[in-house]
Every structure is written in C-alpha cells, then in structure tokens.
Amino acid sequence: MSAEKTTVGASKVVSFEKATREKDRKEPIFSQGLYNWVMFVLSLYTRVRENLKIDYESFVILQVVVSHSLYQINKTGNKTFSELEDQMTKVTQNKKIKNSKLTFASISDVLQLPRETVRRKVLGLSKSGILLGNTENGIKLGPAYKTIYKEFVTQTTLDLSSLIKKWKKSGALEHLLEIDKEINKK
C-alpha cells in the first residue's frame, strides 16, 4: 500500500457546502449523519485505549499489519467471518499462508510516520504478543491478535452496523451513497 492510496488528491476535495446542497433535502441529514460518525469514532478510540490498552497510533500501525494479512488472505477469495477467524489464527500461528514481508520501512511509508516511531510501537505490540517480527519473516500478527479478532473486531462490526442503521433511518445513508452524483452534477 502506498501513500498515494491513502491520500485524497486536491482535485477530489469538495467543500462541505457544495456536498450538502440538495434540492429536496436540508442539511440536518448531513449534520445528524456526521454526529453519528463522530460518536462511532470516539467510541472506537475509547475502546482502543480501554480494551486493547494501546495508543491510537499503535492501533493504526496494527491496522496496517491487519490490512497486509487480509490482502494476502483475500487472494484466495472472500471469506465469511468464521472462515476469516480461522485464516487469522493460521497467520498468528505462522502457518503456511504465503505472505510478502512487511517491514518497519513499509509501515512508515504507508502512514508517513518516522521509522523509529514505527519500530518502537511495533516492539511494544510485540511485547504483548499482538505482533511478531523478525528480519527473516517481517512483521506479522501475533498470537494475541486472535483475542482482538474475536472480541474487538466483533464489537466494532456491531458498532458499525448500528451506525449504518442510524444513517439509514435518518436518510443519511442514501445521501452518502448518492453524494458523488450530486457533486458531479454541479
């Protein structure tokens, strides 16, 4: 994953004012949807600190490692929640899942963080067994990730489902799904 994949180009940035102009709708749909989103993010942040007992930067580094693992797993096709749990267990047990090497430098590049910061945070995550890393195999998910997947990912999925239901009920979901068409009309 390169930095370009995570950066929005200047040509893609649209003002909130332009994005929320509609003929039939008023802005409260956007404001309520944004409020629901902010509450989701705040809840996620709090759960990262309280349940995982790690800082948010370490959490984002963990997400890069998870993303790398998912990329490798998805090469063999889409998986259900339980199939993915089984595959993640194999990754954490260092079973044979073909995996290209993930390094401090590659994580640093993706997140635009100093390598030393990434190294220090990966070592901290390694001490708790969430990540494993060595020069031969690179950085991988560790055995403690199985608990994170089972508990934290499940709760995050439920929270996301709740967010989407709130968006659907308020009309914000429909608005979000069609916002690109509205922007392109103008």
pLDDT tens digits, residue range 56-98? Answer: 999 999 999 999 989 988 888 998 988 888 888 777 666 555 5
Predicted local distance difference test score (pLDDT) of residue 101: 87
The three-state secondary structure class of 103 is coil
CATH topology of domain 26-185: Arc Repressor Mutant, subunit A (1.10.10)
Predicted local distance difference test score (pLDDT) of residue 95: 56
Domain residue ranges in the chain: 26-185
Least confident segment among 69-78, 119-128, 154-163: 69-78
Of residues 179 and 107, more confidently modeled: 107
Task: Calculate mean pLDDT across residues 12-25.
Answer: 54
> Six-digit token pair at 133?
């890393």
Predicted local distance difference test score (pLDDT) of residue 23: 45
Predicted local distance difference test score (pLDDT) of residue 19: 56
SS3 for 136-183, per residue?
A: CCEEEECCCHHHHHHHHHHHHHHHHHHHHHHHHHHCHHHHHHHHHHHH
Between helix 154-170 and helix 28-47 the angle, nearest 10°, is: 170
Predicted local distance difference test score (pLDDT) of residue 3: 47
In terms of DSSP H, where are the helices of the chain?
16-20, 28-47, 56-74, 81-92, 104-111, 115-127, 145-147, 154-170, 172-185
Q: pLDDT tens for residues 87-112? A: 887 776 665 555 578 999 999 999 99
130: which DSSP letter?
S
| Number of Cβ within a 10 Å radius of residue 101 | 12
Of residues 141 and 17, more confidently modeled: 141
- The pTM (predicted TM-score) of the whole model is 0.76
